[in-house]
Amino acid sequence: MTRPFRFGLQAFEASTGSAWTETARRAETLGYCTLFTTDHHFGPGEISASSGHRPVDVAPISAMTMAAAVTTTLRVGCRVFCVDYHHPVVLAKELATVDFLTDGRVEAAFGAGWVAAEYEGLGIPMDTAGVRIARLAEWIELVRAQWSGDPVEVEGQHVHASGFVGAPLPVQSTIPIMIGGGSPKVLRLAGRLADVVSFNFNNAAGTLGPNSFGTSTEDQTLQKLDWVREGAGQRFDDLELEIGAYFIAVSDHPREAAEALGKRFGVSADDVLGHPHALVGTVTDICDTLRHRREALGISYITVAQRHLDEFAPVVAQLAGQ
């Protein structure tokens, strides 16, 4: 099944409250389907410097709610909630409430956590990847139970909740759940439990840097797709596949633009042009690339960073819903 293209915008920055609402309104006007916040809680400082992750200005739930309040069709979500930073019942209720108040415009995305410096800086123990992924699986069981309308009775190794029915219930029959990552365990889990699977770098090192680029080449993304298939089994065709386009240059001189991007990672222009997380070239070039990748990889949901909101808008105008 060929899914229509959808485009998300991931927003990190808000110099003022009005700047944030303007970003949301502009994203809706330009045809982006979803505005994603991010679940990181550090401003400028040592955590950002050591992890390679930019500081984040706004907290996810309140920013999602404001974005929904100033728009009419824009979906809202967080790409992604780190399960170790939240109590599952509380976050599930928060998300259901936003869905209830927005008439069904929430997308829920969960991850096992990866920024080691943030765990340390927030004073949160960082368990092994296997434990974090097992906890993520139990989280998904709980939030689905809480959104079902049935009594919640979840007694796992990591998650315990019972004695109540979730309220409010989401307006959507189910809030779509995205799970993403770059390792075999988390992608098999995503294939088994998610509605949307997000392909990302393998962030096992706990930092972003030049090596991140090398964990998501086309061959490696094909391997990741196989891991998702292993987890999904017969439900694979029901999954929507998403990817972050982290390296974008809309340019009439694609090779020069690709060479400039490649210098940051010590790779060639050809490596950049063929990278699944990169989109470089004219609007027509990028549209053709996205159609090819949808055919080859099945990826139809593309998320771009806030800084590319306007630059990438002509691509969204041509392909959204197609």
The answer to whether the beta carbons of residues 3 and 29 sit under 8 Å apart is no
Q: Is 162 helix (H, G, I), strand (E, B) or coil?
A: strand
Span 6-319 CATH architecture: Alpha-Beta Barrel (3.20)
**Once rounded to an integer, what is the mean pLDDT over residues 232-249?**
96
Query: Rg of the chain's alpha carbons, rounded to an integer?
Result: 19
Q: Which two tokens stand for residue 75?
A: 């979906």
Query: Does the pLDDT at position 37 exceed 60?
Result: yes
Region 55-76: mean pLDDT is: 95
- Output the pLDDT for position 96: 98
* Mean pLDDT of all residues in 307-316: 97
Q: What is the pLDDT of residue 205?
A: 55
Q: Where are the domains of the chain?
A: 6-319
Q: How far apart are CA 40 and CA 192, in angstroms?
A: 26
pTM as predicted: 0.94
Backbone angles phi, psi at 158, to 5 degrees: -115, -20
Angle at Cα 229 formed by Cα 115 and Cα 247, nearest 5°? Answer: 45
